[in-house]
Amino acid sequence: MEKSSSKNIAIFISGRGSNFKSILDHINEINGEIKIVISNKNALGLNYAKEKNIQTLISNDFEKISSIMEELNIDLIVLAGYLKILPKNFVKKFFGKIINIHPSLIPSFCGKNFYGEKVHEAAINRGVRYSGCTTHFVSDVVDGGPIILQKTVEVSQNDTPKTLAEKILIEEHKIIVESVKLFCDDLLTIKGERVIIK
């Protein structure tokens, strides 16, 4: 099998960027390179990018962001704890090239009302015995795109939103890396609402 060409990756973050760090920690196993880290605000994770001499940008101007994606020949955009909803035309333009990670077993506890700790609060209040995390391609339905990978996490009766978030984050770090790897090796195909892994 022909080796796929190395991919140019952009990472979008809004917080401390732990999923971004996880990708960076495993970059040697990934057939790609992080070209830029973009945030909608002065996010803590940007510092880490700067330390690693990765270009950073704070912007909410999606025409500008779109131009930069093209200038840098970005193949893959990873939303790694990015809490802003992307404009529809941006999503349309880059469909199949944007991966998001969400801390629940989609289709449970997802959509625009479930962000940050609210997801875990909802899971605990509903009394589910399992939650987890999901990577998916971004479509114009919030958290509604084709699912790449999922991982389940047991919810214990003593869990708080905080402890559940911590347990799930450990699994997020694994599936985000694995999803980026699969993408960069050209092993993901979108078929309708499903993702087929070759």
The footprint of a copy of itself (CB under 8 A) covers 105-109, 124-130, 132, 146-147, 149-150, 152, 157, 192-197
CB-nearer residue toward a copy of itself: 68 or 175: 175
Q: Minimum Å distance from CB 160 to a copy of itself?
A: 13
CA gyration radius, the chain: 16
CB-nearer residue toward a copy of itself: 41 or 129: 129
d(CA 10, CA 90): 14
CB-nearer residue toward a copy of itself: 85 or 196: 196
d(CA 18, CA 178): 15
Interior angle at CA 29, CA 26 and CA 31, nearest 5: 115
Contact 77, 184 (CB under 8 A): no
102, 120, 136, 173: which one is catalytic?
102
Is 102 tagged catalytic? yes
Q: Minimum Å distance from CB 188 to a copy of itself?
A: 12
Distances (CA, A) of 20 to 46, 89, 108, 173: 10, 25, 24, 9
Q: Minimum Å distance from CB 151 to a copy of itself?
A: 8
Q: Which residues participate in catalysis according to the annotation?
A: 102
